[in-house]
Amino acid sequence: MTSDESAERHHRQILLPVIGRAGQSRIRAGRVCVLGLGALGSHTTMLLARAGVGFLRLVDRDVVEWTNLQRQALYEEEDVRAALPKAVAAARAVQRIDQAIAVEPVVLDVDAASITGLIADVDVVVDGSDNFELRYLLNDAALELGRPWVYGGVIGTHGSTMTIVPDETACLRCLFPDPPAPGSVPTCDTVGVLGPAAALVGALQASETLKLLVGDRAARNPGLLSIDLWKVEIARIAVERRSDCPACGRGERAFLRQQVANRIVSLCGRDAVQVVVRPAVSLDLAALAERLSALGSLQHNPYLIRFMVEGYELTVFPDGRAIVRGTTDPAIARVLYARYIGM
């Protein structure tokens, strides 16, 4: 794309006094990592791509499912039929929007061993995660590396967002010192998600990201913005930095320093359990697919193997990770994994 074509594409954005040509140049030079490509991450990614962000690293552990299409903007029916990982499908969608964008899809379950490498070379990180574990890990890593990040969450008809700039603003643990206890907060499994609520919070996250990229930090969201879209109720909650905050006050990195071990966790919005092996391995998917083909029909592409067995659906990734669908019982997932993957 020529400079003239780029200027024409972003002409309406360049007209904005808060951006202008200089701001558009900063946006094109900007580097953003989106962690999680569900409802929030897909909307934010789409808007950042259309705004002309020059580099997008798109990270997600999951595969596009039919239930995603109600609220996750970048995906289509063909992505479901092809069993594409969300990171791959999102990257392809970004390239259809703007071929000049450098986009890096990463199919990965982010943990303490991988997060710093994912965000160390970007200007802003966008939180599109569906779990508190990753948000607290991101908070630690962002503070450690001095990377600003934009928190976002949606459940039911309610959404919230907060922009966190190390050494300037409160961090996540100033607001919520510890993650909520399991079972203490509603989830998308129990109360659902309104698609427009996700679109709204994703738009707010994209706007905050653009402010950071153009250098207008004075205009950033100064606290926690909370919105119930159905009731049209908006609240802005001031959040001050706390000297006794475990993370930004005392400098603790409890989540970043944790030992990385095998994990079995239920997935939000899915009748499924994820099995993660540590250290990660490198599976020969073609060989594994040939071995498993005796079980019946299976789906195999360069990114994963998907097959049905004993009434359950198993999706296996090259790093040894697997999603077992049809149960929320970790014991069943563990048995199936050992029986058919053999580790």
Tens digits of pLDDT across the chain (343 residues):
667 777 889 999 999 999 999 999 999 999 999 999 999 999 999 999 999 999 999 999 899 999 999 999 999 999 999 999 999 999 999 999 999 999 999 999 898 999 999 999 999 999 999 888 899 999 999 999 999 999 999 999 999 999 999 999 999 999 999 887 655 566 675 578 999 999 999 999 999 999 999 999 999 999 999 999 999 999 999 999 999 999 999 999 999 997 655 566 656 657 888 888 776 778 889 988 888 888 878 899 999 999 998 889 999 999 888 999 998 888 888 878 877 887 5
pLDDT at 49: 98
CATH number where 313 lies: 3.30.310.10
Are 194 and 311 in the same domain? no
Domain assignment present for 11: yes
What pLDDT score does 269 carry? Answer: 56
Tell me, yes or no, whether 253 lies in a domain.
Answer: no
Residue 306 CB neighbours (<10 A): 18
Task: Give the dihedral of Cα atoms 273, 274, 277, 280; nearest 10 deg.
Answer: 170
End position of a domain, from candidates 222, 238, 254: 238
- Looking at the fold, whether 210 and 300 belong to one and the same domain comes out as no
Query: Within this chain, do residues 178 and 316 fall inside the same structural domain, yes or no?
Result: no
Q: Please state the φ and ψ torsions of residue 110, each to the nearest 5 degrees.
A: -70, 135
Which pair of tokens denotes residue 219? 């205009």
**CA-based end-to-end distance of the chain:** 48
Q: Residue 149 — φ and ψ, nearest 5°?
A: -145, 160
Residues 6+ apart with CB under 8 A from 176: none
Asked whether residue 201 falls in the same domain as residue 63, the answer is yes
- CA-to-CA distance for 130 and 156, rounded, in angstroms? 13
CB 277 within 8 A of CB 339: no
Instruction: Provide the number of structural domains found in the chain.
Output: 2
Same domain as 271, residue 213: no
- Of the residues 174, 188, 245, 248, which is catalytic? 188
Q: Residue 145: which region, alpha, beta or left (left: phi > 0; alpha: psi -120 to 50)?
A: alpha
Q: Give the C-alpha separation, 52 to 33, whole Å.
A: 14
What is the pLDDT, as a whole number, of residue 343? 57
The sign of the CA dihedral 10, 11, 14, 17 is negative
- Assess if residue 321 is contained within a domain: yes
Before 196, cis peptide (omega within 30)? no
Residue 190's pLDDT is what?
58
- The CA–CA distances, whole Å, from 181 to 26, 163, 211, 237, 251 equal 41, 24, 34, 23, 23
Same domain for 112 and 56: yes
- Up-side HSE of residue 258: CA atoms within 13 Å toward CB? 18
Write out the H or E segment, with its range, that includes residue 296: none
Q: Is the dihedral of CA 188, 189, 192, 193 positive or negative?
A: positive
- Predicted local distance difference test score (pLDDT) of residue 261: 54
Claim to verify: residue 232 and residue 152 sit in the same structural domain = yes
What CATH code is carried by the domain that includes residue 8?
3.40.50.720
Do residue 33 and residue 151 come from a single domain? yes
Q: Is residue 244 part of a domain?
A: no
Q: At 135, which amino acid appears?
A: R
Domain that holds residue 336: 263-340
Q: Which residues pair with 328 in a beta bridge?
A: none
171 catalytically annotated: no
Which pairing describes strands 102-107 and 124-127: parallel, antiparallel, or unpaired? unpaired
Dihedrals phi, psi of 26, to nearest 5 degrees: -65, -40
219 touches 211 (CB < 8 A): yes
Q: Is residue 255 part of a domain?
A: no
248 in any annotated domain: no
Asked if 154 and 277 sit in the same domain, the reply is no
Residues 223 and 268 in one domain: no
Domain assignment present for residue 169? The answer is: yes
Domain assignment of residue 249, yes or no: no
Beta strands in the chain (DSSP E): 31-35, 55-60, 102-107, 124-127, 149-155, 158-164, 223-228, 233-238, 263-266, 272-276, 298-301, 304-309, 312-316, 322-325
User: Looking at the structure, do residues 129 and 12 belong to the same domain, yes or no?
Assistant: yes
226 and 268 share one domain: no
